[in-house]
Amino acid sequence: MNPVNHVAIIMDGNGRWGIRHKKSRNAGHKAGLKSVEDIIKISIDYNIKFLTLFAFSTENWKRPKKEINYLFKLLESYLITKISEFHKQNIKLKIIGKKKFSKKLNLLLNSAEKKTSKNSKIQINLALNYGSKFELVNAVKKIVKNNYKINEKNIEKYLYTKNLPDPDILIRTGNTKRLSNFLLWQLAYTEIFFEKKLWPDFNREDYSKIINRFKKIKRNYGNV
């Protein structure tokens, strides 16, 4: 049985969920946050050590301002109300992506990371303003600047995911089969599960089914 150490998730389908429920796209994001909380709890139950969640991509800035503002306000109030609880539960929060937000959000993110930095139950990597191509170009630039050798080890050293194991499982909800510039390097040998359900509807049963299917897969890594 394969151990599950690191799960990455593209949480797609919030907007459609909001519209389908005759509400707004933003109502879908609010419902999506509830799924985030549930999935963190279930990941802890499964003793998963790293959970990487794609919350906002470098391309998501193209969305209407109203939606972007709503998402960041949602995150702000979530951090303000929940970070102490996270800390009590021994959860470590790390942001992956370019931290270039409002002064208030930057401060909140930095203090949440600092407060939880020694925690060890599970590490939540929240991908915010994250783009894999940017991450890779940036890594190569740093290697060249320092005159280091361009090799896998050095590239990995300059990724946001430095020192993290690669994801074992990638889940994308929302019935869309693409990677959307997420962890392109790190997913080289990850098992990928595309889920029809929209993110706010994704529940414990769906997650457990994927984990159990993953556990039985023969992982070859290019071998036979």
Residue ranges in the chain assigned as alpha helix (H): 14-20, 25-45, 65-88, 103-116, 132-145, 152-157, 204-215
Instruction: Kindly tell me the burial class for residue 216, based on how many C-beta atoms sit within 10 Å of its own C-beta (0-12, 13-18, 19 or more).
Output: exposed
Task: Please tell me the distance from the alpha carbon of residue 135 to that of residue 53, in angstroms, as a whole number.
Answer: 16
Region binding ligand FPP by CB under 6 A among candidate stretches 69-77, 92-100, 145-153, 216-224: 69-77
Given 2, 5, 38, 60, the catalytic residue: 60
- Based on the shown chain and the rule CB under 6 A, indicate whether residue 11 belongs to the binding site for ligand FPP: yes
- Based on the shown chain and the rule CB under 6 A, indicate whether residue 15 belongs to the binding site for ligand FPP: yes
Instruction: Kindly tell me the burial class for residue 44, based on how many C-beta atoms sit within 10 Å of its own C-beta (0-12, 13-18, 19 or more).
Output: middle
- Based on the shown chain and the rule CB under 6 A, indicate whether residue 75 belongs to the binding site for ligand FPP: yes
- From residue 129 to residue 168, the character string flagging contacts with ligand FPP as x (rule: CB under 6 A) and all else as - is ----------------------------------------
- As measured in angstroms, the least distance from the Cβ of 107 to ligand FPP is 16
- Contact residues for 162 (Cβ-Cβ < 8 A; gap 6+): 156
- CA distance from start to end of the chain: 17
- From residue 32 to residue 61, the character string flagging contacts with ligand FPP as x (rule: CB under 6 A) and all else as - is xx--x------------------xx---x-
Residues that bind ligand FPP (CB under 6 A): 11-16, 29, 32-33, 36, 55-56, 60, 71, 74-75, 174, 199
Catalytic residue ranges: 12, 60
